[in-house]
Structure 1
Amino acid sequence: MLGGTSSAGGNASVELLITHGVGLHARPSVVFTRLAKSFPCTIEIEVNRSGLWLNAKSIVKVMGARIRKGSTLKIRAHGLRAEEAIAVLEALFVNDFAEERPHVRGA
């Protein structure tokens, strides 16, 4: 994570460093957009400080952004439950999308 959440009057944002092995490939993108859609606020993403904000509730926009490992992702929300939305979406990244890792056996 690069920066914590900030908020003011129904606005919140967070900036994250993508550490997931292959970035936001199909499965994490679906999980992310479904979770974003569960909130009534507007949620947008910006990749690598491009200045281009995309609808985080659109699987087409999120997958089209080609968010790779090492990318910087800023997520912002505006409206009802914006702070909660940012906290939950940030946790998704921090928990690496709850993907199981293969167990490594000792030699």
Structure 2
Amino acid sequence: MSEGPITAAIEITNPTGLHARPAVKLTKLAKSFAAKIALAFDSGGPWIDAKSVVKVMALKAPQGAILHFTAQGADAAAAINELVDLVRRDFDEGPHAARAAGVPEPGHAD
């Protein structure tokens, strides 16, 4: 018996939004899971395939947009957790990436 879909929503805080590099990172991560994964600007859709870089880039999601994820399959929960974490880390770009890597921010000595 199949479990119901796993869902989550998160705001894009990356200053440049979901542009080309983040879209590639998001789709590459989504493709690493067997689950069927979709995303949308609204919890009611329309939903697009999160594994399609062309469709994800076509969203042109700006900073401040809310991304809604849904996933269904054996590894759906792990997929949603990792995708939300990627968005939370600003797609590993900018200051969040430096902090995650243990690099001090400019002006801060460790």
The answer to whether the superposition gives a TM-score over 0.5 is yes
Identify the structure with the greater helix proportion.
Answer: 2
Identify the structure with the greater strand proportion.
Answer: 1
TM-score range, shorter chain: 0.7 to 0.9
Query: What is the number of equivalent residue pairs in this alignment?
Result: 99
2:71 corresponds to: 77
> Which runs of 5 or more residues in structure 1 are unaligned?
1-7
Normalised to the residue count of structure 2, the TM-score between the two structures is 0.80
1:51 Cα offset (Å): 2.2
1:10 Cα offset (Å): 5.0
Q: Percent identity?
A: 38
Query: Displaced runs of 4+ in structure 1, greater than 4 A?
Result: none
Query: How far apart are the structure 2 equivalents of 1:30 and 1:67?
Result: 14
Structure ID, larger Rg = 2
1:105 Cα offset (Å): 4.5
1:60 Cα offset (Å): 0.5
Query: How far apart are the structure 2 equivalents of 1:72 and 1:100?
Result: 20
> Which runs of 5 or more residues in structure 2 are unaligned?
99-104
